[in-house]
Structure formats: structure tokens, C-alpha cells
Chain A
Amino acid sequence: MFAGFMTNAWIVGSIAAVVAGVVGFFVVVRGSAFVAHALPQSAFTGAAGASLLGISTVFGMGTFALASALGIAWLGKRGRHDVVTALTLVMLLGTGELFLSYKTEYAQAIYSLLFGEVLGVSANEVLPSAVVAGVAIVAVALMYRPLMLTSVLPDMGEARGVRSHRMEMLFLVVVALATTAAVPVVGALLMFSLMIGPPAASRCFTDSPLAAIALSVALALVTVWASLAIAYERNWPVGFLVGTIGAALYVIGRLWAAWRQAHTVRPGSVGLAPETAPAH
């Protein structure tokens, strides 16, 4: 299963996993799951529009995802974020359907963008995915500290001159990039689950943010690799496998966290003198 046409699927699948693991960590921390649901949908609409115009699908996805990200960020400044996101989502789905109604012969290709079509990944999709994913990951690395500050302590960040709204805008652009890189392999509906399941599970296993990001990437890779292997063996849909394994990881994480809570005494309390504290 490592031969021939599957090679591209393994490469693009791994790229999707890494970018979803990194970007998804902040999606979960910021409580932006709903936006992470809407942006892959907008990528789908963009792809439908691109196929109608006969231009590059990746270009169409990227343009629509970016426009939606900026739109949600801009409108969210005034109205409620969830309402704005929902309206954007509904509008995009409708537009996507309109695009499809005009050009039925591409319906199969567009369908695969919703649910993923790993076995059909072609060699010329690998490089654009890798480049866009690379840009998204470098962007997260560069904005890591202010992004964390505004995610956790927005008022304290504002007082130090870090504009929460500007960081939100930048972050949504990064989610749009991650989406563009990953949608061709896992599909719009399941890029979403890859950005939520592994990062949410990773939080249960460690208290350190950087360790949680590393673990999130590792779990996303395991999810994608296992999904591809099972899909190849059993001919089950990749999207189904990614969604199910992601959810299973989260349940395991929760159980582990509950077990750990019950079996550990927290080191240190108010009365504990600093010098008796564990040093590590």
C-alpha cells in the first residue's frame, strides 16, 4: 500500500495532519471550532466556483477561504461571532450549490472535496499543499506568543498593546491557509474533525502548551495514517475513519484525564514553602 498512486496520498495526508495538529491546537484553545467548520466549507464553494470558471481548484479554495476568514473577522468585530460565522456558512453552502447546479459534469470532483478522495490525489497537488501548509505553520510559530496571550488573557494583552482583534484576523487567515492545504485529501467536512479531535485529545495528556502541540501533531498523523491504511485495506471512506478515530482519541484523552485527576495529589498548595517545591 506504499506503492504507486498511494504515495501521494501518504504525503498529502501527512501534510494535512501536521498543519491540522498545529493550527487546530489554537482553534481548540480559542474556542473557534465553529469557524474551523465554516472555512473548509468556503473552500468547497471556492472549488465549485473555480471549476465553473475552469480555473485552478486550489486557487478557488484559497481565495474563498481567505475572503471568508477576513469577512468573519471583520463582521465579528461588530456583531456576535457565532451569528456572523453561521450566516457566512449558510451563504457559502447556498452559493456552492448554485455553482454546482450550473456544471453537473464536475459534481463528482466537487463531491470528493466535501468528503475527501485520498486515492485520487495526483502528484501536482503535493507541492502546492506542502507550500501552503508550510506558510501556515511558520505563521503560527512566529505569532505563537501574542496569539497565546490574546487567546488566554485578552484584556492583559490589550493593556500591553497586543490588539486581540488583529490577532483574531491573522489567526483566521492561518486557518484559511491550513484549510486550503488540507481539504483536497481529507475533504472539507473532515478537515474540520482533524483540526478538533487530535488537538482536543492532546490537552488531556500534558500541561505544557508546546508538548500539547507536539502531541496534537503526533495524534493527527496517527489518525491520518491509520485512516489511510484501513481505507486501503477495507475500502472504507477516509472521511469516516478520520472522524471516528479523532473522536475516539478524544474519548480516550478524557478518560485518561479523569483517571489522572483521581490518582494524583497536586504538588504544592498555598501553604507549601517555595524551597520544598518540586524543581523541574
Chain B
Amino acid sequence: MGPAEASGNLVSLDGISVWLSGHEVLRDVSFSVRPGEFTGLIGSNGAGKTTILRVILGLQEPTAGRVLVKGKAGARHNRSVGYVPQKVLIDPDLPLRARDVVGLGLDGHRFGLSTSSGVRRRRIEEMLGAVDAAGFADSRMGNLSGGEQQRVLIAHALIGQPELLLLDEPLANLDIASGHEIVELMRRVATEHHVAVLLSAHDMNPLLPAMERVVYVAAGRAASGTVDEVVRSEVLSELYGHPVTVLRVEGRILVVAGSHDQTEILASAPHWLERT
């Protein structure tokens, strides 16, 4: 039994560095995710969130450090990790219903003829119900709204019964109401199916009600812990390498550059305030 497994971690990253085309995209990133935990992976565009998720999936080889999934190195082909990538474009001309997409999550990796048994049908039906997608199960995937597609993709990832679900910016293209529904859904799913969730976002505010822990990423470095431990002026100033101030305004958290008189917003801002 490895040390990570002994400590009860589902995933642990230890001193991960990644270099891509001569740039250090991740530097000495270490954190872990425990079973059933809801973790937010927060950082502005280009901070390194997607790269972290790809390292966990084994799709990106780290330059240094090691990643353990369930105590084993290399998560590639590990059925205990489900993944919904950042940009999924579905052609509206594609004859594929929501239920077909969920079916592909169940046995899409298998060669050979499909056995369209009643058991398989029921599992798909159940999963569609679990993500509130039963109402559009027979609709063409490409005709669904962004929020509806997101539910179907979550069902696709979840039906393989993973212990960890990685969601890359699932709220990025959703309106606020749909975003809240997805967060609420993920919180429910994490509890009911006992799945750990690692969800990336550039705005942490919609996640605040659900997030048990946060991994805050800035310029390829990461700090992790509870929101109160990590989202503090001292910790984030250290992470960014220059002074930042954490402001709490009416239950929302804003992270701004400099001390109180300067107001350059770095992350956790509403979209219209976001730095480009």
C-alpha cells in the first residue's frame, strides 16, 4: 500500500512541474483530493487549470514530480476518473440523442457488437434521471442548450461509476441560473454517488456554497486548503508573487491587485470585470 493510499487520498499531486514549448506552465504543484470531496480549481485564464486536469488524467506527462491516482502512478485509462473537457462542440447535424451520448459513457470504449439489453437501457435511463435530463433524453444532442448538454456530458462521465469527476470550466458558457443548477447538481451527485468532484472555474463565487476545498492556481503555482485558509491576502500575495487584496463584498469574494487603493481585479470577478 502506497503512502497516498494509506493517507486516504484519491488523487495526490506531488511537486508537479510541466514545461510546454519552453514555458514553465506548472511549477511545483502539490495538492490532494480525498474521496467524496468537492474541490474547486480556481484561477484566471491561462493559470494552468486545464493542464493540471490533464496531468491527473495522464494525458499530459509532467516534467517533474509525480501524480498518484488511488495510490497508483499514471491515471491513463483509469476507469475511476471521469472527465468532462472544457470545450465540447457537438454538430447539430449529428444524429445522436442525449441517451446515445450517455450510452457511449457506459461502453463506448468497447469493441464488438453492442448488447442492447434491458439492463443497459435502465442504467442509461436512471443516469439521465439523476442529472435531470430525462425530459430531453430523445432530443438531438446538438440541439440542446449549453446547460442541457453539460448535464448529458456529466451523465456520460458519471455512468462509468468513477470515484473522481474532473469538470473543466463547466460554467464558462452558461448563464447564471444554469450555472447555479449545475453546481447544485454536482453537489447532489457528489453526495448521492459518493464521487469526489474537482471542478475548474475562473470565478469562485458560484462555487462557494458547494466547495469544501479550493485549489487556487496563479501563474502555474497552486495553493490548496479550505476557502478560509487559502483565499486570504497573505496566501494569494505569496502565490501571485506580488501584493493582492482579498475583498469580501456582500457574500462575494473579489481578489484585487495591490493594496486597498488599487483595484485591478485578478480573479473571482464577474465576467465584465475580468482581466483579459
Chain A residues with a Cβ under 8 A of chain B: 29, 141-146, 148-149, 152-153, 155-162, 202-204, 206-209, 211-212, 266-270, 272-278, 280
Q: Are B156 and A207 in contact (CB under 8 A)?
A: no
Min CB distance A151 to B, Å, is 9
Contacts A152-B90, A274-B129; A207 near B76 (Cβ below 8 A)? no
Chain B residues bordering chain A, tally (CB within 8 A): 50
| Chain A residues in 8 Å Cβ range of B134 | 268, 274-275, 277
In Å, the complex CA distance between A273 and B134 comes to: 8
- The distance from the CB of A142 to the nearest CB of chain B, in whole angstroms, is 6
Q: Are B138 and A146 in contact (CB under 8 A)?
A: no
Q: A272: shortest Cβ distance to chain B, in Å?
A: 4
Name B's A-contacting residues (CB within 8 A): 57, 59, 76-77, 79, 81-85, 88, 90-91, 93-97, 100-101, 104-105, 107-114, 128-129, 132, 134-140, 143, 145, 147-148, 153, 156-157, 160, 178, 181
B168 to chain A: closest CB distance in Å?
9
Count: A-B pairs, CB below 8 Å: 124
Query: Are A145's CB and B95's CB within 8 A?
Result: no
- What would 17 A/B residue contacts be, using CB atoms closer than 8 Å? A142-B113, A145-B104, A146-B108, A146-B109, A152-B90, A152-B94, A155-B85, A156-B84, A156-B85, A157-B108, A157-B109, A159-B83, A267-B138, A268-B135, A274-B129, A274-B135, A275-B134
Give CA–CA (A97, B163) in the complex, Å: 59
With a cutoff of 8 Å between Cβ atoms, the chain B residues found around residue A159 in the complex are: 57, 59, 81-83, 85
- Docked-complex contact A160 and B113, CB < 8 angstroms: no
Knowing that A267-B136, A269-B136, A270-B148 touch, tell me 8 more A-B residue pairs with CB under 8 angstroms: A145-B114, A152-B94, A156-B85, A156-B153, A158-B59, A160-B77, A207-B140, A209-B96
| Contact (Cβ within 8 A) A162 B108 | yes
How distant is the Cα of A156 from the Cα of B229 in the complex, in angstroms? Answer: 33
Minimum CB distance partner of A261 in chain B: B143
- Cα-based distance from A267 to B135 in the complex (angstroms): 7
Q: Kindly report which residue of chain A lies nearest to residue B56, judged by CB atoms.
A: A159
Interface centre among A141, A274, A276, A278 (most CB of B within 10 A): A274
The distance in angstroms between the C-alpha atoms of A252 and B113, with both chains bound, is 32
Cβ contact within 8 Å between B79 and A160: yes
A142-B113, A143-B111, A266-B136 known; A148-B104 Cβ under 8 A: yes
Q: A29-B94, A146-B111, A153-B156 are in contact. Are A266 and B143 (CB under 8 A)?
A: yes
Question: Is there an interface contact between A206 and B104, defined as CB atoms closer than 8 Å?
Answer: no
Q: Which residues of B contact A145 (CB under 8 A)?
A: 104, 107-111, 114
Q: How far is the CB of B154 from chain A (nearest CB, A)?
A: 11
Closest to A280 in B: B138
Contacts of B100 in A (CB 8 A): 148, 208-209
What CA separation (Å) do A202 and B88 show in the bound complex? Answer: 24
Closest 9 pairs (CB-CB, A-B): A268-B135, A161-B77, A274-B134, A149-B108, A272-B135, A159-B83, A212-B95, A155-B85, A268-B136
Name the B residues within 8 Å of A208 (CB-CB): 95, 97, 100
**Closest A-chain residue to B143, C-beta based?**
A266
